[in-house]
Amino acid sequence: MSEVLGRPVRYRQATLGDYREAMIRHGASEASAQGLVDMAVAQNNGAYDEEHRTAPPAPTSFRRWCEEVLRSAVLS
C-alpha cells in the first residue's frame, strides 16, 4: 500500500470490541457492527483458508487491487 500510494501506511491491530465500537461511531447499527465482528471472527477461525474454499482464488493480486482500486479511491 505504501509503495502504491507513495506515502506511509501504518497498521494497528485492534480488538474486536474496538472494531465494533469504531463501526458504531461511524454510523453502523449495533446489528451491523456485530455482523462485521462475527465475520471477522469467522475469518480468524479459518473460514477463508484454502481447505474451505469452494471457488478458485481471485485472479487479482493485492498489489494490483491497490493500483487499480485503492489508489484512485484514496487520491480522489
Q: Count CB-CB contacts under 10 A for residue 67.
A: 15
Give how many domains the chain has, as a whole number.
Answer: 1
Residue labelled with grid coordinates 484514496: 74
CA separation for the pair 7, 47 (Å, rounded): 32
CB 38 within 8 A of CB 51: no
Asked whether the whole model's pTM tops 0.85, one would answer no
Query: What is the chain's alpha carbon radius of gyration, rounded to the nearest angstrom?
Result: 15
Task: Copy the grid coordinates of residue 29.
Answer: 447499527
Question: Which domain does 50 fall in, by range?
Answer: 2-75
pLDDT tens per residue, range 19-75: 999 999 999 999 999 999 999 999 888 877 777 677 777 788 999 999 999 999 998
3-state secondary structure of 60: coil
